[in-house]
Amino acid sequence: MGLNPDEPNFAWSFELIAPENGVLISDEKHQLEFTFDYLLFRNSPAVMGEEASDRFGNEWPVRFDYLDTIDGGNLSLQVHPAPDYIRREFGETFTQDETYYISKAQPGALVYLGLRENTDPAEFREALERSSKNGSEVDIDRFVNKFQSKDHDLFFIPNGTVHCSGSGNLVLEISATPYIYTFKLYDYLRRDLNGNLRPINIERGFDNIRFDRKGEWVNENLISKSRTLFEVEGCKELVLMDVPFMFYVIHRVDFIEECSWNTDGLAYMVNLVEGDMVEVHSENGRTSNLAYLESMVIPASTGNVRFINKGDKPCKLVKVFIRPK
């Protein structure tokens, strides 16, 4: 991914997060960089689509990033705030509903998601607070569900759901754009580069945990059970997530030679989760390349867009869009 191998630690890669991304344009003499937001300030409906623009204004609503725990440890156990909480406490207009798409998993890799059926909230909180005070370990497996993960699995993580990636996963995190306000409940007593225990926030976390997200409900509602939307020779589109408690939809197109669609006024974010490289052709005649694990925004005004496999292996392309009313 172009990261500096001499840096002491990386676990989070900002792949496509609008508030952090710059856009570069250049000619033979000059180069200009501006934030992604400027595209929305200029013409939000053309980029996002009329309906999404009416709802989100100039805030691009979905982000991609990578979480890498391969040959590492579990991520911190955490929870994201409820919509009214993040609005009242932090002034955000919408909250962090996210998903884990498993780009690559080692044998035995796990995802922790939701509470176990018999978890007692008071006992869970007492164990976390005791750990925070005296540095005692918490047996997370006693309180939190765990699920085996494998390549191309998808886990839904609506706000209020306790979760973390276990070790051995490369996660493409597909999420609502807000990313700052995550309440960490337990961090396995890890220390920062200065030797201090990393900060956690049990009180705010417990203000937001949905204790009904547990046991069999999690298995039935928060783990993708894909269905085929359409299939022709050499190309199949799957619906991976379309649920009422998430505002965006996730599909995947599996194809051998090529696939195409018309944006019809919807913006798409795509990521090549399998295959070497595709060549992207837009209706206006422009072409660009998208390599394995790279991401791209397809503006709502694009019209017809075509993806041609330029490698030797079949391709899988994740496509994400805002659910139209």
Tell whether the torsion through CA atoms of 130, 133, 135 and 141 is positive or negative: positive
> 180 pLDDT exceeds 90?
no
- Highest mean pLDDT range out of 58-62, 283-287, 304-308, 321-325? 304-308
pLDDT digit string (tens) for 154-166?
Answer: 999 999 999 999 9
**Bridge partners for 308 per DSSP:** 258, 279
Say which residue the tokens 């200065």 belong to: 194
Structure confidence at residue 239 (pLDDT): 98
**Bridge partners for 269 per DSSP:** 297, 320
Dist CA 96 CA 160 (whole Å) = 10
Structure confidence at residue 22 (pLDDT): 86
> 4 pLDDT exceeds 80?
no
**Do 12-221 and 227-322 agree at the fold level?**
yes
pLDDT digit string (tens) for 75-130?
Answer: 999 999 999 999 999 999 999 999 999 999 999 999 999 999 999 999 999 999 99
- Give me the percent of the chain exceeding a pLDDT of 70: 97
Dist CA 95 CA 83 (whole Å) = 5
Superfamily of domain 12-221: Jelly Rolls (2.60.120.10)
Local confidence band at 11 (pLDDT 50, 70, 90 cut-offs): low
Say which residue the tokens 């595209």 belong to: 39
Dist CA 205 CA 184 (whole Å) = 7
Local confidence band at 16 (pLDDT 50, 70, 90 cut-offs): confident
pTM of the model: 0.93
Q: Any residues with CB less than 8 A from the CB of 246 and at least 6 apart, and which?
A: 97, 99, 156, 158
Local confidence band at 245 (pLDDT 50, 70, 90 cut-offs): very high
Q: What are the structure tokens assigned to 262, written together? A: 């018309």
Domain ranges (residues) in the chain: 12-221, 227-322
Closest CA to 304 of 273, 268, 272: 268
Structure confidence at residue 75 (pLDDT): 94
Chain center to CA of 323 = 16
**Bridge partners for 100 per DSSP:** 155, 173
Kindly state the average pLDDT of the residues 225-239. 97
Kindly state the average pLDDT of the residues 5-19. 72
Structure confidence at residue 10 (pLDDT): 64
Neighbours of 315 (CB within 10 A): 26
Closest CA to 261 of 242, 274, 280, 277: 280
For 7-21, 69-83, 302-316, which range has the lowest pLDDT when averaged over its residues?
7-21
pLDDT digit string (tens) for 25-62?
Answer: 999 899 999 988 999 999 999 999 999 999 999 999 99
Spell 191-217 as b/e; 16+ CB within 10 A means b. Answer: eeeeeeeeebbbebbbebbeeebbeee
> 211 pLDDT exceeds 80?
yes
Superfamily of domain 227-322: Jelly Rolls (2.60.120.10)
Local confidence band at 307 (pLDDT 50, 70, 90 cut-offs): very high
> Cα angle vertex 36, ends 84, 247, to 5°?
35
Dist CA 222 CA 260 (whole Å) = 29
Structure confidence at residue 2 (pLDDT): 62
> 190 pLDDT exceeds 70?
yes
Say which residue the tokens 């783990």 belong to: 223
Chain center to CA of 2 = 20
pLDDT digit string (tens) for 248-264?
Answer: 999 999 999 999 999 99
